[in-house]
Amino acid sequence: MILLQSPSRFLLQILQDRVLSGDKGVDIDCHTVEFDDVRYHIQFSMRNPKVMVLSVALPLPPPEAMLYDGLPLGAIEAIKAAYGPVVQILDPPKDGFDLTMKINLTKLPPDEEQRNAVLTQIASVREVVLGAPLKLLLKHLASKTVAPNVDKLVALVHRPNESFFVAPQADKVTLVYPMRFQDSIDIVLATSFLQEFVEARRTSALNNAPSCLWSPVPPLELKGVPSDALNANAVVFPRHVEGKKLDKTVWSLLTFHAYVSYHVKCSEGFMHTRMRRRVETLIQALDRAKSDAEKLKKLVNGGSFKRLSLKNDGN
Amino acid sequence: MDAASRPAVVIDNGTGYTKMGFAGNVEPCFITPTVVAVNDTFAGQTRANTTKGNWMAQHSAGVMADLDFFIGEDALARSRSSNTYNLSYPIHNGQVENWDTMERFWQQCIFNYLRCDPEDHYFLLTESPLTPPETREYTGEIMFETFNVPGLYIACQPVLALAAGYTTTKCEMTGVVVDVGDGATHIVPVADGYVIGSSIRSIPITGKDVTQFIQQLLKERGEHIPPEESFDVARRVKEMYCYTCSDIVKEFNKHDREPNKYIKHWSGIKPKTGAKYTCDIGYERFLGPEIFFHPEIYNNDFTTPLHVVIDKCIQSSPIDTRRALYKVCVIKMPSYDSKYHSGSEFHFIGQNIVLSGGSTMFKDFHRRLQRDLKKIVDARVLASNARLGGDAKAQPIEVNVVSHPIQRYAVWFGGSVLASTAEFYEACHTKAEYEEYGASICRTNPVFKGMY
């Protein structure tokens, strides 16, 4: 509820339905759009009911982010490592998309638990592709080295025409998120959300969490990059990327912006709930203040329905 | 990239189920019960006893409780397994009753199910034809204020049901929609995409009444069904064995002549003792749906048959639309209404819900309706011809009753078709308009005709 889940619910649902449904196939041709403008196009054909063609379009990259053949660094290798023989990458990708994969459902492992794990992994294709370069950097952090031939400041795309910045060092990685909100209310809420975020980090229970800061001016690392937004910083240490924690850390860092905007929307909703409750109590107070005569008046003259009966007719 | 270049989000909030997805798709991405499980433990407490020390703790607990809720199937599962959650059904008889939970429901639909950023998409929502404009205003307020949607269009469900017919029959947006719903049955005439509000008729006979009638019949015949199960059994009987007959007397004869062929058996297990029981299912197979055509066999308060009400409805519409209205009469009978949803309880049979069973009762429903309606119309034409005495002959009137193959989400599909046209983006109320004029712009939504 509080965090955004990594696997796409819709993809997972389609995959699971298809695996369970047996051999009968129906044509499916649908598209969905996720936050940050990641688009999916899902196709099943009648002829090959167990083969899914999945095309993914990534957010439009800003000029400073580096892409290789339209994909982030190391994405192809990451896909191959994550899915193995189940997935085959089609080259060139479908028109308008950055990546097209052929997923062969007959090659899934027979064991149900393993199969579900692979399906979930396929549904998290976004994390695998977009998170690949970040994962690479953080892996080096786990072994306390800096990846060779990497700049001091790496820009990674996470939203259409927006990127966040990673400054890798041997013992820590600093991430900087420039955030731009359109709405003035959103800016205020996001600011206080980030304040709370920093505040919460100070409580004893979260001592080991990555330390974070925010400021309206860009930090020193970003010198030379034009920026006009709220900036949130997070510093990741090797202990955050040990073993299994790596995937989770990558996903959380990758979707930090979406996470903040999700909670900004949530808090607006909860504020409305509070406001509604308040109005209700005020109306109740007003009702109580009405004199008895007023209440009676309303009851008697309430409607135009006059109860007629035979007796009244006679008079 | 502009929001208008992305597909619009179409959400059809029904009393029982919510259908949501992206415009341009054939099927909604998710069909989920319209229900929210809320953790109410902290609802009233935050202000009540504010002793200084634990105020902060209570406050943050209250904030956490805000985020502690579930929707759809998750909500049902949670409420079954623990006592901390209360189920709330935000929509009642097609009208939003609880805006708090409705807002949360939308929030989860958008962020957790569709996983889209509401600022990136235009939205199409639906409403029943009887929704007051204030509700529309409220909806607009939530959508524009909370979710910052770039554009919003609130469409009328029967109009969308007509629009869904585009693919099967090429027609104008004119027709009568017979909406056999959850709490009431509405007959809504639509002319050129405009609902003729003054002619909307409602009748108090619904799928649930069919179930109750079957339950009553079974009880009166003295079948041995445990009382706590009888409603459930009646519902299943309706789904599996009911059908619409053409002539009730003939059907009685058929059953009497060949009981082996027509009488079905139901066997179940008593929940308390675990003992097995069986019962016969006979006349109620065709008597159940018959209450739409002969309501007097069910109750005495309402005795006008469905086809007569439809005829009256069309006769009360503007005279120049009547011929077209007779031509297209769409039955919208959500199959889940009978199948998975009874009262406030949901029933799921396994994970994969396939459309079967529930629709058998309605297989010939539209044929029967068409025949009966035609009878009335023909009689009227004959009478008028006789009155005129042969000088002027009235043209015969075409009567058509159709039912969609995709009953379950016909409204959603209509929304998907309309929202994928270019006109949709022009018909939407935009965020800029909202900021300029306020929520009142949502009171009316311009009609646009889509593809044809």
pLDDT in tens, B393-448: 778 888 888 776 666 788 898 899 889 888 889 889 999 999 999 999 998 888 87
A272 vs B355, higher pLDDT: A272
DSSP three-state, residue A75: helix
Residue A199 backbone dihedrals phi, psi, to 5 degrees: -60, -45
Task: Please give, rounded to a whole number of angstroms, the shortest distance from the CA of B49 to a CA of chain A.
Answer: 17
Q: Is residue B228 part of a domain?
A: yes
Query: Is the pLDDT at A242 greater than 80, yes or no?
Result: no
pTM of the model: 0.84
Q: Tell me: pLDDT of B242 over 60.
A: yes
Does position A271 have pLDDT exceeding 50, yes or no?
yes
> Mean pLDDT throughout B345-350?
30
Same structural domain, B139 and B16: yes
Average pLDDT over residues A29-43: 89
Residue count (chain A): 315
- Which range among B55-59, B254-258, B271-275 has the greatest average pLDDT? B254-258
Which one of A1, A58, A112 would you mutate to disrupt binding with B, by most B Cβ within 10 Å of its Cβ? A1
CB of B155 closer than 8 Å to CB of B125 = yes
Mapped onto helix, strand or coil, the DSSP state of residue A309 is coil
State the pLDDT at residue B351: 25
DSSP string spanning B275-319?
A: -EEEEEE-THHHHHHHTTT-GGGT-SS----HHHHHHHHHHTS-G
Assess contact for B377 and B311: CB atoms under 8 A. Answer: yes
Q: Are residues B331 and B252 in the same domain?
A: no
What does chain B come to in residues? 452
| Distance between CA atoms of residues B69 and A292, nearest Å | 41
* Contact flag B114-A32 (C-beta cutoff 8 Å): yes
Check whether residue B281 and residue B248 sit in a common domain.
yes
Domain harbouring B272, CATH code: 3.90.640.10
- CATH code for position B324: 3.30.420.40
As a whole number, mean pLDDT of residues B271-291 equals: 84
Please count the other Cβ atoms lying within 10 Å of the Cβ belonging to residue B384. 12
Structure ipTM: 0.86
pLDDT level of residue B353 (50, 70, 90 thresholds): very low
Note whether B367 and B439 are same-domain residues: no
Question: What letter does residue B26 receive in the DSSP assignment?
Answer: S
Q: Does B361 touch chain A (CB under 8 A)?
A: no
pLDDT at B52 over 60: no
In a domain, B296, yes or no: no
Q: What is the mean pLDDT of residues B63-88?
A: 82
Q: Which domain holds residue B274?
A: 205-290
CA distance A141 to chain B (A): 31
Output the CA angle B151-B154-B160, nearest 5 degrees: 125
Nearest by CB: A35 against B27, B115, B148: B115
Residue B246 falls within a domain, yes or no? yes
Task: Find how far residue B220's CA is from the centre of its chain.
Answer: 31
Nearest CA of chain A to the CA of B293: how many Å? 32
Q: How many domains does chain B have?
A: 3
Same domain, B284 and B338: no
**DSSP label of A4:** P
pLDDT score recorded for residue A92: 83
Best probe of the B interface among A2, A5, A6, A9, by most B CBs < 10 A, is A9
Q: How confident is the model at residue A163 (pLDDT cuts 50, 70, 90)?
A: confident
Mean pLDDT on B258-273: 81
**pLDDT at A41 > cutoff 90:** yes
Please report, rounded to a whole number, the percentage of residues in chain B having pLDDT higher than 90.
17
The phi, psi pair for B169, rounded to 5°, reads -130, 130
Residue B348 has pLDDT above 60, yes or no: no
The mean predicted confidence, pLDDT, of chain B is: 80
Domains of chain A: 9-266 (3.30.1460.20)
Q: What whole-number distance in Å separates Cα of residue A210 and Cα of residue A172?
A: 10
Closest CA to A100 of A42, A49, A48: A42
Indicate whether B412 belongs to any domain: yes
Two tokens, residue A302: 């309430």
Same domain, B32 and B107: yes
Q: What angle do CA A306, A308, A309 make, to 5 degrees?
A: 155
Residue where one domain finishes, among candidates B231, B262, B290: B290
Indicate the pLDDT class of residue B107, thresholds 50, 70 and 90.
very high
Chain A residues touching B1 at Cβ < 8 A: 37, 60, 160
Q: Provide φ and ψ at A129, rounded to 5°.
A: -75, -55
Q: Which of A42-46, A132-136, B359-363 has the lowest mean pLDDT?
A: B359-363
- State which of A144-148, B70-74, B312-316 shows the largest mean pLDDT: B312-316
Residues B423 and B340 in one domain: no
- Contact between A9 and B112 using a beta-carbon 8 Å cutoff: yes
The verdict on B19 touching A (C-beta cutoff 8 Å) is no
Q: Is B113 on the interface with A (CB under 8 A)?
A: yes
Shared-domain flag, residues B198 and B128: no
Tell if the CB–CB gap between A2 and B6 is shorter than 8 Å.
Answer: no
Q: Does B69 touch chain A (CB under 8 A)?
A: yes
Is the pLDDT at A182 greater than 90? The verdict is no
Specify if B295 maps to a domain: no
Burial class of B369 by CB neighbour count within 10 A (0 to 12, 13 to 18, 19+): buried
Same domain membership, residue B217 and residue B89: no
Residue ending a domain, among B225, B255, B290, is B290
Report pLDDT for B346: 32
Higher pLDDT, B229 or A11: A11
Residue B297 is assigned to a structural domain of this protein:
no
- Answer whether residue B190 is part of any domain: yes
- The reply to whether B363 and B443 lie within a common domain is no
pLDDT tens sequence across A110-142? 888 888 888 898 899 888 888 888 888 888 887
Identify the domain boundary among B290, B322, B352: B290
pLDDT at B172 over 80: no
pLDDT digits (tens, 9 = 90+) for A2-28: 788 888 889 998 888 888 876 666 788
Summarised one tens digit per residue, pLDDT across range B284-340 is: 888 888 888 898 988 888 888 988 999 999 999 998 888 888 888 777 765 543 333
Residues B245 and B361 reside in one and the same domain: no
Same structural domain, B154 and B65: yes
Strand blocks (E) in chain A: 28-34, 38-44, 51-57, 87-90, 99-104, 154-159, 162-168, 173-179, 211-215, 230-236
In the numeric block, which tokens belong to residue B222?
């003295």
Q: Is residue B386 part of a domain?
A: yes
Per residue in A71-108, pLDDT tens?
888 888 888 888 888 888 888 888 888 889 998 888 88
pLDDT exceeds 90 at position B391: no
Query: Taking the alpha carbons of B117, B123, B128, B131 in that order, is the dihedral positive or negative?
Result: positive
Peptide bond into A92 cis (omega under 30): yes
**Model pLDDT, residue B342:** 32
What residue has token string 């919208």?
A: B332
pLDDT at A282: 94
Q: Which amino acid is at B101?
A: T
Closest CA to B139 of B129, B156, B126: B126
Predicted confidence at residue B56, as pLDDT, reads: 65
**Residue B300 sits at the chain A interface (C-beta within 8 Å):** no
